[in-house]
Amino acid sequence: MRVLCPILITCVALLAWTRNGSLQAAEGPAQAAYLRCEYRVNPLGIDIVRPRLSWEMNDNRRGAAQTAYQILVASTPQILVSGQGDLWDSGKVASDKSAQISYAGKPLKSRMRCYWKVRLWDADQKAGSYSSPAVWTLGLLKPEDVKAKWIGVDGPMTYPNRPRADAAAPKPADSNTPLACPLFRKEFQVKGNVRRATVYASALGNYRLHLNGQPVGDDYFTPGWTDYRKRVYYNTYDVTRLVRSNAPNAIGGVLAGGWYADPIAWDRKRFHYGNKPRLFAQLEIELADGTIQTVATDGTWKTVFGPYIEGEFLAGETYDATREIGGWDEPGLNDQAWQAVTAADSSGAKFFQAFPGVTVQQTGILKPVKITEPRPGTYVFDMGQNFAGFARLRARGPKGTKIVLRFAEMLNPDGTIYTANLRSARATDTYILEGTDTELWQPRFTYHGFRYVQVTGYPGKPGLDAVTGIAINSNVPLVGSFECSSPMVNRLYQNIVWTQRANYMSVPTDCPQRDERLGWMGDAEAFVRAACCNADVAAFFTKWLVDVDDAQGPSGDFPDVAPRVVATGGGTAAWADAGTICPTTIYWVYNDERLLARHYPAMCKWVEYCRHHSKNLLRPNQGYGDWLSIRADTPKDVLATAYFAHSTYLTAKAAEILGKADDARKYGALFQQIKDSFNKAYLKPDGRIKGNTQTCYVLALAFDLLPVEKRPAAIRYLAHDIRSHGDHLSTGFVGTSLLMPTLSATGNNALAYKVLLNDTFPSWGYSIKYGATTIWERWDGWTAEKGFQDPGMNSFAHYAFGAVGQWLFRTVAGIDTAKPGFQQLRIHPQPAPGLTWVKAAYRSLHGRVATQWKIDGGELTLSVAIPANTTADIVLPAARADDVTESSRSLARAKGLRIIGMGKGQLLVHTPAGQYHFAMPAPE
């Protein structure tokens, strides 16, 4: 667990004081909860001097609303306890705003601690008690705050005199030798009583710090993947409990090549960003007398190669427990045989900043469900679920016993693991036993995408407890849940979530298993709205969208992948358009105007790039097209021009939101011009679109490219094409993300349900019928007739086709927002034949939204939970108000509800916060 102890102890003491202290008169029940700063709970070391604060309102009464708030921010817990805010007292602010509130107090400086709380006034103008306290701290805001140097080994970071890891004799390291992970250490004496200790840490590569024999933090692969030539992040940890007062201490670190120096994707060469991995650590100890003692990486540190023989993402990790150095991270070690480090003053990056996202952490533990032995001495553990992470090994045996673990998503017909689709990724972990007792080991600097673990060299016959699956990913909080009457659809939803988790690994990757794992932009934009339904991805995308802008070309072309490495192309339709789609989606879901403003210039550059790389506003016939579509070929120029129009539309809307009226008019006019060119070039008089594929019609309808009079024909052609395929889709990465919402929005909701519920090829249900536990890259990744597809591109954990998840939430469950940020909700479940009940929930920026509908005996019941301080427009499928009851009362008598519209067999009801239970005749 990350050590935040002094802060947490203080917060607990504050909580006890507020609960046990004197009560204020006439307090209401409303209280702020789940306090966040820049989307995170108690973030340490941020470098934003006007951070944004958010909270949820706890008040279960119907009609609960916030009418005012007061924020106190103090420099010490004691001042906050006294009811003062020496840094900021907002006073009573009449507002219902509870998110994205910018700090407006005294200027913040490096290393400051800001303790804060908030109280609310409810709908009756009654003040509630103050919230539990929260905290944020500031990092290193000025260049002169940085004291540490960047240290590394003197020479190549490969293991000298490599131990025998296979039958071959040791040989000198070469360019194909995986990098080792050296140890670093420094002893120091603390000259007083410790009040507080903070360490700022980073690396060119990946690192893990230790203090006095204990690991620092619980993160993996820090400081995260960036374009290290432009930007390097640091992490901040409170290590007060680990530092010993008036005593010798030792700080240590382990350094891996990581994304900085490891091979990336199919390009087997190393050192894309540099060939000298480096460690950075700056430990600042505040003593009781107020003095600051700083221990920083510099030329006095020492290094040695220890048990980490190899540690790379694609190759895996080799750990020789016989080479462990006891006490290497504690004081008193005889380290005379250790080597001197090399030290550099700078990382070489333009920016050295606080990490703004969410770190990779352990997020799950999986137990194997079965062991098989397809060959003598070869054991295959079935974890029951495809995921990203690694295996924790438990074994006991003679010293030097080598146990080898290999990883795979699927099995061959003979029960052995299927590894052909890994391409050049070795994906192998090796552990050499120390031989003393039962040993427990897991890797630190690698991960794999797998369901199956093959174990060889195990001493004896392993039991189920010999292997445990450890799932890791960027720790985005899961906020969605969905279940329904179809077991297949329930499995589909689980598959979507597992695949998202497996691929959110510092950046949104395409796959977790083979030699790729890149931040493919097309996958990210297709899935981003579904991602928001499953998890709170605001901080994750805050970080990655900076990577996207960093990767933009000088002429405005957004890249194919971000960070831009190996696959260095750019300007590709649908892929590059992630540069407009993702920031506007994050703005819509989280009402993040600051993020939108930051990325707006890059959006404009992209639209101008498209304009200058078009002829008559028609984009060229190139790119990836509707990638991995099945039995359809959407013309690339049609697709590219549609996305040019859509990005222009989004940029015009962003300009309007940001108050840039001239830009809004300019890009609004350009959007109309692109539409005219699209229709002139691709739309036939009978309403058919060039290519005549499902994706052609989906794009034209979803992006509003057609004249009003031509839309009915496009809707008919789309439905006809699906029916001509036996109610099956033919869409690829691009079309699938928009297909289902477009069908439902154009009067073909029942057809969308048929597509959803298919279990024949091609469909989501087909893969599930044959055991899929994640979303496959291809519709035909494996078929009963042909077996595995081309192993050159056949991932079984690719989230693009999981974009259907947004439709499950927004249409099937009916949970959506009417305005940015989910403070004004739109609840519109759309039942259709095939499902008899649905239950879903989403923890929005303002709290938990939930719906549950059921059709039984000709009656439709709908339960809705609207969180405090929000309102909702609920669409009910009923022709008359008299046909609807709420909590067994007529709709007209229901407390707080207003009928604001009716027509076409629907009622539109406006509701304040609360729990509602509607009943009405089931739609035919």
- Gap between the Cα atoms of 669 and 651, Å rounded: 12
- CB of 354 closer than 8 Å to CB of 236: yes
The one-letter amino acid code at 486 reads: S
Q: Could you say which DSSP state residue 567 is in?
A: S
Q: Minimal CA–CA distance to 3: which of 308, 215, 171, 192?
A: 215
The closest alpha carbon to 764, from 805, 793, 723, belongs to: 805
Residue 598, SS3 per DSSP: helix
Alpha-carbon distance 540 to 412, whole Å? 36
Instruction: Answer yes or no: 144 catalytic.
Output: no
| Residues 453 and 468: beta-carbon distance below 8 Å | no
- Of 400, 398, 465, 450, the closest CA to residue 430 belongs to 400
Comparing CA positions, the residue from 479, 120, 445, 31 lying closest to residue 256 is 445
Element (H, E) at 440: strand 439-441
Our CA dihedral for 486, 487, 488, 493, rounded to 10 degrees, sits at: 90
What gap in Å lies between CA 253 and CA 251, rounded to an integer?
A: 7
Strands of 52-58's sheet, edge to edge? 31-37, 52-58, 101-102
**Type and span of the H or E element at 388:** strand 378-395
554 class by beta-carbon count within 10 Å (0-12 exposed, 13-18 middle, 19+ buried): exposed
Taking the C-alpha atoms of residue 814 and residue 866, their distance in angstroms, rounded to an integer, is 13
- Residue entry with tokens 């794999």: 448
Angle at 157 between CA 151 and CA 160, to 5 degrees: 125
Residue among 461, 795, 429 at smallest CA distance from 628: 795
Contact 56, 847 (CB under 8 A): yes
Q: Is 777 one of the catalytic residues?
A: yes
- The residue whose two tokens read 């060469």 is 269
Give the Cα separation of 588 and 580 in Å (integer).
12
Q: Annotated catalytic residue: which of 38, 310, 409, 777?
A: 777
Alpha-helical (H) ranges within 613-693 are: 636-657, 661-682
Return the amino acid letter for 530. A
d(CA 126, CA 253): 53
Quote the Cα angle for 151-220-561, to 5°. Answer: 90
Nearest-angstrom CA–CA distance, 870 and 847: 9
- Cis status, amide bond into 635, omega within 30 of 0: no
The three-class DSSP label of residue 712 is helix
Query: Which is nearest to 262 in space by CA: 252, 282, 277, 249?
Result: 277
59: region left, alpha or beta (phi > 0 left; psi from -120 to 50 alpha)? beta
Contact present, 629 and 695 (Cβ < 8 Å): yes
Nearest-angstrom CA–CA distance, 389 and 362 = 8
Do 18 and 132 meet the contact criterion of CB atoms below 8 Å apart? yes
Q: Which candidate in 516, 709, 859, 924 is catalytic?
A: 516
Question: How far apart, in whole angstroms, are the C-alpha atoms of residue 649 and residue 704?
Answer: 10
Side chain identity at residue 87, one-letter code? L
CA distances from 246 to 195, 196, 198, 264 (A): 12, 14, 17, 46
Identify the sign of the CA torsion 345, 350, 356, 357: negative
Distance CA 397, CA 498 (A): 35
Q: Which residue has the tokens 């930051």?
A: 598
Which residues are designated catalytic? 516, 777
